[in-house]
Structure 1
């Protein structure tokens, strides 16, 4: 390992995240190399998907893996540190705001009140169960919250959004992303095999996939195997679930501030920042409702959002120490598996008990 590969958290910037250069010029010059590095890794992740054997892999997963490999083999150079941190904070927040342009309130109407109730109940139950079971297993609270958010809402995007208020170690974020990627991918393969066995019609299968599979891409891949109608409804159900990211992250931010205020052992500890950028996410949903964005433009926005999220995860990888990641052990993986089984079983039970057919 090179001398430059020591933990980025030891740099002065990590201890003073709110410090700002006095002039914009020097600031841009400082962050540009690292931002270009994360963009190059994101581009490499997209290019790797041209290889048939990994064409189905998420570019976000590939980006974090490349970043982890680079950091642990050759080290993250000091000249890249400011830009890596910029990608991990500013670029991430901007990408989540743009994510709102993929959603509309009309999608909520199409799912219907009962369908939304099933999705919301599944989300709340899964998040609560995962945090509780994590405590039972002895998994660190912050890591348990990240796995809970990734499982209950939208995979890696939810994990990195939630971490803006949870403020877990980068290794925890990497572990959480790995969990939702592995178990979401397994669900993507297994769910279509169960549609006939479980007696689910197209809309029922679409709701089940949208309410319980981790990533949007995984939902699309699984639900369309049940037919065009199942695929379209599964995608809409999943996007409706993604809308619930905003209230969850804001709620966790408020809870974190209350928790910090009542910690006598850390009187000088700064309160976690409120995730105000999530309001930008909500504003973009509203904008998408009142302005008709051309299909070609929306496709470009979707691609740009995915690329920016891949940049943020590349930055996460460039801050991840594999030795610290291995120290987490297998208990968080067991938590991720149990959470995946819980969300699948709970959502299916609600669909069956309510007799929901869309």
Structure 2
């Protein structure tokens, strides 16, 4: 009787060789990310350092990071070998940062805003988003750019713009333009709002709600609301964080709408761009609501989240050609200014009605 030799014995060297090639390819791929990640991290670190300059601290590191990224790309040029890491920062690191944003909010904070406050925030968000999309269509602004400006204005500034783009899938220049719009008008609000509580006869509670419901960035809300005292600042921050929580349902809804939208040939996209990372955001909100994160760890996580978001926006800047921004003309800027005026006036009307 002849011995039967298993086939696997003859294939083992080839299998080992293939596994070795795959392992080497993975290592090469990982090392290929290092230059770009190092570049985006360096710009993010520089944005934090730059805030130590008097007068610059009013701008968030995220805003400084995208400005520095744009300057680097257009004056020096993004190295080819950094491209892979830059895209990794723009996609993977961004999603991780948005998930971690969930640790900055609890269900108890949302409850503290109250049913009336939540209704003001939600109605303002939806109305601003719909108005901006409609006006964008009337002005002839590209649908994707109008959607990004609408998200940034109605929800939470630059973070909402880049999160929304995971389903909108606009060009990098559109994202940069939308970020620029919400930065400019959010900064205007940050300086103008503190001048108005006395003129408008707003209580600290009402002023905090107005700031949290209408100013674009979290940092801008904090800077404006605390000018009217501790109570206004605390409530404005909580109202703003409650508004940030609405990022999840908005992005999921936009993803479902995008999957249902037919292309130019009348066919629906083969794959729905479901933003699964947003579910991670919701999960961490839930986790943060049932456990108590130590204050030191909490502040460290907030810093880490801001740093990761700054890396993502630095990557966005490194992918932005300023010549293409100029080519978009004034219509998107008009749209951004109109959206800013609408959210400020509409939310103030609702706050005045509930005082």
Q: Same fold (TM over 0.5)?
A: yes
Structure 2 partner of 1:342: 342
Find the aligned partners of 1:170 and 1:272 in 2 and give their Cα distance.
21
Structure 2 residue matching 1:84: 3-state secondary structure: helix
Find the aligned partners of 1:137 and 1:264 in 2 and give their Cα distance.
22
* Structure 2 unaligned regions, length at least 5: 1-21
Q: CA deviation at 1:32?
A: 1.3
What's the TM-score, normalizing by structure 2?
Answer: 0.91
Find the aligned partners of 1:215 and 1:256 in 2 and give their Cα distance.
26
CA contact (8 A) 2:68 2:314 kept: yes
CA contact (8 A) 2:248 2:278 kept: yes
For 1:126-275, list aligned pairs within 5 A. Answer: 126-259=128-261, 262-265=262-265, 267=267, 271=271, 273-275=273-275
Structure 1 partner of 2:281: 281
Find the aligned partners of 1:352 and 1:195 in 2 and give their Cα distance.
12
Structure 1 partner of 2:17: none
Bigger-Rg structure (1/2): 2
Structure 2 partner of 1:13: none
CA contact (8 A) 1:256 1:271 kept: no
Match for residue 54 of structure 2 among 52, 56, 60 = 52
Q: Does 1:322 align with 2:322?
A: yes
Find the aligned partners of 1:143 and 1:285 in 2 and give their Cα distance.
29
CA contact (8 A) 1:70 1:318 kept: yes
Q: Deviations over 1:120-169 (max 9, x none)?
A: 00000000000000111111110000000000010000000000000111
Structure 2 residue matching 1:57: 3-state secondary structure: coil
Find the aligned partners of 2:199 and 2:235 in 1 and give their Cα distance.
20
Find the aligned partners of 1:106 and 1:269 in 2 and give their Cα distance.
39
Q: Does 1:123 align with 2:116?
A: no
CA contact (8 A) 1:21 1:27 kept: no
The count of corresponding residues between Structure 1 and Structure 2 is 334
Distance change >3 Å, CA 162–CA 349, structure 1 → 2: same
Cα RMSD, aligned residues only? 1.5
Runs of 4+ aligned residues of structure 1 deviating over 3 Å after TM superposition are: 20-24, 266-272
Q: Deviations over 1:178-222 (max 9, x none)?
A: 111110010111111111111110100010000000000100011
Structure 2 residue matching 1:143: 3-state secondary structure: helix
